[in-house]
């Protein structure tokens, strides 16, 4: 791309943003202050999850959310780190607005905040960021995968100069399932997602021997992340760690 064309595109984006700000001004979702979809003050006071739980037995675990010693022999996920708690009103409002009111601009402040939380831990940086995939039917309806946007924000914040570390299409959802939050029992949650994911043909070498962060917006029981991790481990991933905005 020529310098003049790149400059023209940047100028066009600035003009477009200025027009949108004029006719559809941004107000903070948390405090209604003008200027940002989630202002810096609300980001600073965004509720933090202080205690992490083992993703398999739900007992208290390390500050980074490792699978506990008793469950570590199971060939599933190596841990789940959650930045916040979904039950907090501002957190649930942000996530609901992000996903169901299609305000994808929230991905940047939420992803930046989550990156800061991860920096406070000693979780090793991954070889790959893989977002939990949406089924194609839901992706067409929503227009974007919120987990992909969060994964991109995390990558840009934590490993900005490393290319080809975000794999958006190697893990696919093979069948349409109802949201996990609409299930009521452990068996129903398990059966809802059993064999719902697989590795895209030809991409297994990309995950072989790699350390992977599996990115999602919310983890309720962890079933989605566990099932995705099982598929990635079966494909040869070295370890799989879930990173979520809230739990």
Q: pLDDT tens digits for 59-101?
A: 999 999 999 999 988 778 999 999 999 999 999 999 999 998 8
Q: Can you tell me the distance from the alpha carbon of 190 to that of 68, in angstroms, rounded to the nearest whole number?
A: 21
Encode pLDDT of 216-246 as tens digits. 999 988 999 999 999 999 999 999 999 999 9
Strands (E), the chain: 79-84, 128-131, 171-173, 197-199, 211-218, 239-246
Nearest 5°: the CA angle 166, 171, 176 is 130
Split at pLDDT 50, 70, 90, the class of 3 is very low
Confidence (pLDDT) at 175: 87
pTM across the whole model: 0.86
Q: Which residues contact 92 (CB under 8 A, 6 or more apart)?
A: 86, 246
For residues 39 and 82, what is the distance between their CA atoms, to the nearest angstrom?
Answer: 21
């Amino acid at each position: 791309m020529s310098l003049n064309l790149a400059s023209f595109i940047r100028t066009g984006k600035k003009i477009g943003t200025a027009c949108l700000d004029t006719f559809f001004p941004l107000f903070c979702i948390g405090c209604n202050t003008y200027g940002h979809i989630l202002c810096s003050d609300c980001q600073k006071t965004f509720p933090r999850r202080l205690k992490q739980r083992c993703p398999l037995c739900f007992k208290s675990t390390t500050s980074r959310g490792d699978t506990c010693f008793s469950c570590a022999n199971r060939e599933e996920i190596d841990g789940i780190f959650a930045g916040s708690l979904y039950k907090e009103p501002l957190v649930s409002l942000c996530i609901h607005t992000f996903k169901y009111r299609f305000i994808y601009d929230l991905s940047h402040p939420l992803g930046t905040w989550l990156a800061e939380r991860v920096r406070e831990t000693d979780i090793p940086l991954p070889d790959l960021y893989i977002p939990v995939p949406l089924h194609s039917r839901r992706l067409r309806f929503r227009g974007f995968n919120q987990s992909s946007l969060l994964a991109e924000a995390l990558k840009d914040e934590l490993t900005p100069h490393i290319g080809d570390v975000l794999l958006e299409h190697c893990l696919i959802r093979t069948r349409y399932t109802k949201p996990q939050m609409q299930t009521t029992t452990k068996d129903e949650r398990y059966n809802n997602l059993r064999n719902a994911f697989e590795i895209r043909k030809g991409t297994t070498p990309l995950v072989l021997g790699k350390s992977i962060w599996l990115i999602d917006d919310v983890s309720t029981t962890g079933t989605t992340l566990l099932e995705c991790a099982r598929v990635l481990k079966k494909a040869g991933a070295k370890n799989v760690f879930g990173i979520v905005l809230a739990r």
